[in-house]
Structure 1
Amino acid sequence: MGDVLFIALRRLRTPLITLILAYAISVAGLVAMPGLDGSGQPMKLGFFHAFYVVSYTATTIGFGELPWVFTDAQRAWITFTIYLSVTCWAYALGSIFALVQEPVFRTAVARSRFTARVRRLDEPFYILCGYGQSGTALAHAFDALGTRSVIIETRPERAARPDVEIYQEPPCCLAADARWPDVLQDAGATHPRCKALIVLVSDDEAAQAIAIGAAALNPGLPIITRVHSALARANLDSFPNITAIDPFDTFATNLEMALAAPAVLWVEDWLSSVPGSACPQPPIIPQGHWLVLGFGRFGHAVARALERTGSTWTAIDSNLHLTDEPHLQHSDNSVESLGAAGIDRAVGIIAGTDRDAMNLALVTRARKLNPKLHVIIRQNHVAERSLIEAARAQQCFVKSEIMVRECLQLLVAPLLNRFLLQVRKHGAELAEQIAVRLLTGLEERVPHIWVFNAYASYPGLRAALSGQAGAPLRLKELQIHPLDPSLRLCAVPLLLLRGEEEFMLPALDMELQSGDRILFAGREGEERLQHRFHLDPSPLEFVRSGVEPARSWIFRQLQKRPRVR
């Protein structure tokens, strides 16, 4: 608001001074003009009456000779006042209209309104720096989860897009450079309800500046940053609250898992896909010789992943400025080049250039030479999705989808992300056990994921976790239906976190302690039923005894009385 007032006063200084002087001259002249009262005696108007007459005359809303009929001298002065004041008002109004149209003033007003909206937020929100393809997809994902977003975008046309897009809770948007600390502060980086800041700008230097600036403003704020180089990632890894994600490396890691441990990737896709959707099919990617068409950052990442799994590869790129490598051919993507690269013995190709039309053309040309190829294609622009779909590839790399999935795992379900990292660490054996347990306890659908907190502060768990209920609380009791003990909840415990100790696929008879957190996967609605154990002790007593306990004070007193035989 201070910037708006400062700009307004600076731009309107001359018009306001001119208007004040016009009023002062008009009032002073009318006071000095001789007049007559009702009895014909000489008199002069006071300053109050003179200001009153000039006010309604200068604004052209009326005219009257008050308190008495004016003399010729007063009428002459009023005529002069009319022309003077109307001219000054026209000048002032023209200056106001010009001010309203100025980009600087409009930007200041938008910034002031944005800051006020963010300051009034009394619900959790995320800050998104960048509203490109990834930012748009992530903002809509947060909106579907019922969480508001605050968006900072340097390009005004992008910052205006949320106003015409469909949101349940419209995000707060500002067209500004997030590298400035005051912009981050106005966006709520120090707001107590801010849950995290996600940086999705295309330039690594800008991403580092934004992330480090936000970390300096609020060292306890979780920050997720998209980067594209190892140097930027190394710089940001020095900060404990910053998580750097390289979508190219993430996809390459998934490709490596699909080749070396497909069960691990299958479990990860199963648990992190959209709840309620069909269970994804296990990935089947052949080992052997691969062609990498386009050897930029994406091509480098997937080529290294193929090497780590024992597969061979040959890259083709027409860019002569690329560093020479043993498996790189500096040539066009002609039929001869593909033949020289070994298209006849290849098991698959990766079309990874930064142009979607080129990727489609490469896939089409390669399939003519070898129809049995396994195809992985890169999509660069969401507007050209139809081109990618026409390629009928077995796998598609979409940067925005990678970022949305990684961010949701880190922010919405951090315990799930921790669980999946442990699955990667333990390998295929544990992944197969998880798949068997999910198939046994649940349908072949993507389950809902939630965390059950076993805290003694909850009224329903206080007695069981503090030892007052006699028998300790066991994990298997949380799987009993709180309204019908003869039924079981469709919920599978995946991870039990006790402090920093992790129990993968915990045993059902395991005793729970206060502070334990259990990651469950189950059917929709089971979380609400399980939440009943938090509210009061009667559901837990019911599932243990099979007899519904007395809830009111009167019935509890009657229950204590000895029965008469």
Structure 2
Amino acid sequence: MKPARALAPLPRHHSIFFLIMRRLRAPLIVLIVIIAVSVFGLTLIPGVDADGQPTRLSFFHAFYFISYTATTIGFGEIPHAFSEQQRLWVMFCIYLSVIGWAYTLGTVFALLGDRNLQQAIQMQRFVRAVRRLREPFYLVCGYGETGRLICRALDRLGYRAVVIELDESKVGEIDLHTYAADVPALTADARNPETLEFAGLTHRSCVGVMALTNDDNANLAIAIAARLLAPHLPALCRAESAEVAANMASFGTRHIINPFEKFGEYLALALHSPAAWHLLAWLTGQPGSTVIHHRNPPRGRWIICGHGRFGRVMVDAMKSQAVPLTIIDRSPRQDPEHTWVQGEGTGADALRQAGVGEAVGIVAGTGSDVDNLSIAVTARALNPRLYVVLRQNHYTNHALFDAFESDITVVPSEIVANECLAILGTPLLAPFLAEIRQRDEEWCAWVLERMTRRFGWEVPRVWSERINLVRTPALYRRLMRGERVTLGMLLCSPGNRYEALGCEVLYLRRDDEAPRLIPASDLVLQPGDELLLVGRGGARAELALTLTNEHALNYVLTGEDLPGGLVWEYLSRRRKPHATPSKSGEQET
């Protein structure tokens, strides 16, 4: 068995000093030769002193004169006035040095504009910025639409990010965004393992890596590098190809996100249990956004326009719910299970042939945003009651899609971003969502109505807590002493224990027991319990104070407000009345 691989420090990048010296080697040699020849010539050429006696310059005086002559002219002749021969040699040296300096400065200016030097300087700055990171950060590979959403959400949640992006123009956009903390970014290919190490893949503060490029093969290379170089880190990789996803899974990648398959699961859930679908959308939305409660997807015949990767996933999702389909595609197939119509769906003829007047819903799922909008507008004009699922390929077109007001707009970048945030930020959210998919519509509707009535339709804060000595020291010590603490006792405001905190527990996981969904307030907590909570942002900070501060927890549980500080605690104990025995043997106070 191989020993466990220790966490390696960040690699050292080669210094740019040697790159500069290699490029300036020839000009520097030329300058040195010019100065040496000039100094040596001045020491050989005879001159006269103030008394008219023959003399020669020493090496020190010759070097001193050539040194200031190389930068400016006009300091005069030292230590005595030069002879005609010396002045002739100085004129030769002046023009020679001008040529040497012109050659050197030209090389320096060319070097400053050299692409390789600029990349080396950028790399050095990037590596130093990553080395200085002390707080936890996520390594984001790809700063496209998905990467932008991820970085914005991480910044809003108070996490740091390090970005690798191949497109230099996208890296330049990072400085234009108003992030609360600096985002170190590098223009490089994330498929290079050395680049990933420079970006902090093996850094002790790196807590996760996300492969979000639009190239499945690049995401596969990142997944492999993360699995081999940092197997302890959670890796979230985007994959739109089933073959690449299977390859990632063979390397042990923990989280593989296919936005089309993920939405297929959402749509199948919406057809099967609309309340569960709305609850999932409310819990996994972008922080700070508001979920609009649309009408539920109707049952009946649907039309799917486009049978590409997205269209095939939609067909499978509809098929799993026994929904009758009509497929519009340029290349129809012989399929006895579904009706096929040849066309693009942007024209009214193909839609009428597909029975748009009798259909209950349509999926505009081509690879062109313009075609999808054209399909949706034409279909809605032919059937105003139609339920429209609209695929948006580029997030930059959101203004057009918002103006149309479809029932569901499928944005792959948002789906991937929401899934990444749900997995990384709240590990218990995934099993909770898996549980609600198994529950009936009545139970899901009850949970949805209960949560939205209290917190509204704005996407709430969802977080996890584990009762242990590190995360919840105050509560953990009390439980280890055998004290009885229930959920209802804990979820009170540390400012006023008669007010409930603005959060609720959705899911509780305990060792050797079945998980509990929406546990009762009288449930007694135990050390090691894991809690999934949902609520407002301020409630998380208040609960953290209760869990970590002994005084706040004591007030919440008992109503007694202990004095803070060692001195005040000592004085408070001295002021307490002591018990004295009475003549009858009873204790008197």
Structure 1 residue 490: deviation in Å? Answer: 3.0
Q: Which stretch has the larger CA shift, 279-288 or 106-115? A: 279-288
Counterpart of 2:539 in structure 1 is 526
Counterpart of 1:117 in structure 2 is 129
Q: Which stretch has the larger CA shift, 60-69 or 403-412? A: 60-69
Q: Which stretch has the larger CA shift, 345-354 or 152-161? A: 152-161
Counterpart of 1:557 in structure 2 is 574
Counterpart of 2:384 in structure 1 is 371
1:17 aligned partner, one-letter code: I
The structure 1 residue matched to 2:352, chosen from 307, 326, 339, is 339
Counterpart of 1:464 in structure 2 is 478
Counterpart of 2:363 in structure 1 is 350
Q: TM-score, normalised by structure 1?
A: 0.92
The structure 2 residue matched to 1:388, chosen from 388, 401, 418, is 401
Q: Deviations over 1:269-327 (max 9, x none)?
A: 22223556656426500111111111111111111101101101121111x4x865443
The verdict on how the C-alpha distance between 1:477 and 1:239 changes in structure 2, with shifts beyond 3 A counting, is farther
The verdict on how the C-alpha distance between 1:504 and 1:335 changes in structure 2, with shifts beyond 3 A counting, is same
Matching of residue 64 in structure 1 with residue 81 in structure 2: no
CA contact (8 A) 1:59 1:86 kept: no
The verdict on how the C-alpha distance between 1:87 and 1:365 changes in structure 2, with shifts beyond 3 A counting, is same
Counterpart of 1:273 in structure 2 is 285
Matching of residue 174 in structure 1 with residue 186 in structure 2: yes
Structure 1 residue 429: deviation in Å? Answer: 5.2
The structure 1 residue matched to 2:559, chosen from 525, 546, 563, is 546
**Distance across 2 between alignment mates of 1:12 and 1:441:** 69
Matching of residue 191 in structure 1 with residue 203 in structure 2: yes
Structure 1 residue 343: deviation in Å? Answer: 1.9
Q: Which stretch has the larger CA shift, 90-99 or 507-516? A: 507-516
Counterpart of 2:264 in structure 1 is 252
Q: Deviations over 1:211-269 (max 9, x none)?
A: 21232221122211111111111111223454110001111110010000112112112
Q: Deviations over 1:90-115 (max 9, x none)?
A: 00100111111122222222222222
CA contact (8 A) 1:258 1:283 kept: no
Alignment of 1:158-557 (within 5 A): 158-274=170-286, 280-281=292-293, 283-318=295-330, 320=331, 325-326=335-336, 327=338, 328-333=340-345, 334-428=347-441, 430-438=443-451, 442=455, 445-456=458-469, 458-467=472-481, 471-499=483-511, 502-551=515-564, 552-557=569-574
**Distance across 1 between alignment mates of 2:47 and 2:577:** 101
The verdict on how the C-alpha distance between 1:344 and 1:441 changes in structure 2, with shifts beyond 3 A counting, is closer
Q: Which stretch has the larger CA shift, 235-244 or 1-10? A: 1-10
Structure 1 residue 427: deviation in Å? Answer: 4.8
The alignment partner of 1:461 has SS state of helix
CA contact (8 A) 2:425 2:463 kept: no
Counterpart of 2:10 in structure 1 is none
Give the length in aligned residue pairs: 561
Q: Which stretch has the larger CA shift, 337-346 or 288-297? A: 337-346
Alignment of 1:28-39 (within 5 A): 28-39=40-51
The verdict on how the C-alpha distance between 1:316 and 1:62 changes in structure 2, with shifts beyond 3 A counting, is farther
**Distance across 1 between alignment mates of 2:365 and 2:453:** 39
2:375 aligned partner, one-letter code: L
**Distance across 1 between alignment mates of 2:396 and 2:476:** 55
Counterpart of 1:149 in structure 2 is 161
**Distance across 2 between alignment mates of 1:131 and 1:325:** 41
**Distance across 1 between alignment mates of 2:496 and 2:175:** 48
The alignment partner of 1:525 has SS state of helix
**Distance across 2 between alignment mates of 1:329 and 1:351:** 14
The verdict on how the C-alpha distance between 1:464 and 1:437 changes in structure 2, with shifts beyond 3 A counting, is farther
The verdict on how the C-alpha distance between 1:62 and 1:419 changes in structure 2, with shifts beyond 3 A counting, is farther
CA contact (8 A) 1:220 1:241 kept: no
Counterpart of 2:93 in structure 1 is 81
**Identical-residue share of aligned pairs (%):** 39
1:546 aligned partner, one-letter code: G
CA contact (8 A) 1:236 1:243 kept: no
Counterpart of 1:93 in structure 2 is 105
CA contact (8 A) 1:377 1:393 kept: yes
**Distance across 1 between alignment mates of 2:362 and 2:96:** 81
Q: TM-score, normalised by structure 2?
A: 0.88
**Distance across 2 between alignment mates of 1:22 and 1:499:** 81
**Distance across 2 between alignment mates of 1:372 and 1:396:** 17
CA contact (8 A) 2:138 2:210 kept: yes
CA contact (8 A) 2:305 2:363 kept: yes
**Distance across 2 between alignment mates of 1:126 and 1:251:** 25
The verdict on how the C-alpha distance between 1:123 and 1:50 changes in structure 2, with shifts beyond 3 A counting, is farther
Q: Deviations over 1:107-135 (max 9, x none)?
A: 22222222222222222222222222112
Structure 1 residue 375: deviation in Å? Answer: 0.6
**Distance across 1 between alignment mates of 2:577 and 2:80:** 95
CA contact (8 A) 1:378 1:397 kept: yes
Structure 1 residue 165: deviation in Å? Answer: 3.1
The structure 2 residue matched to 1:129, chosen from 114, 124, 141, is 141
The alignment partner of 2:391 has SS state of strand
The verdict on how the C-alpha distance between 1:66 and 1:213 changes in structure 2, with shifts beyond 3 A counting, is same
The verdict on how the C-alpha distance between 1:541 and 1:105 changes in structure 2, with shifts beyond 3 A counting, is closer
Structure 1 residue 430: deviation in Å? Answer: 4.5
1:557 aligned partner, one-letter code: R
**Distance across 2 between alignment mates of 1:207 and 1:464:** 47
CA contact (8 A) 1:367 1:373 kept: yes
Q: Deviations over 1:427-469 (max 9, x none)?
A: 54552453354257555654332333322455522541212xx
The verdict on how the C-alpha distance between 1:389 and 1:498 changes in structure 2, with shifts beyond 3 A counting, is same
Q: Which stretch has the larger CA shift, 516-525 or 532-541? A: 532-541
**Distance across 2 between alignment mates of 1:156 and 1:130:** 11
Q: Which stretch has the larger CA shift, 256-265 or 43-52? A: 43-52
**Distance across 1 between alignment mates of 2:78 and 2:511:** 85
> Which segments of 5 or more consecutive residues in structure 1 lack a partner in the other structure?
none
2:208 aligned partner, one-letter code: A
Return structure 1 stretches of 4+ with deviation > 6 angstroms. none
**Distance across 1 between alignment mates of 2:51 and 2:529:** 97
CA contact (8 A) 2:359 2:386 kept: yes
Q: Which stretch has the larger CA shift, 264-273 or 86-95? A: 264-273
Structure 1 residue 358: deviation in Å? Answer: 1.1
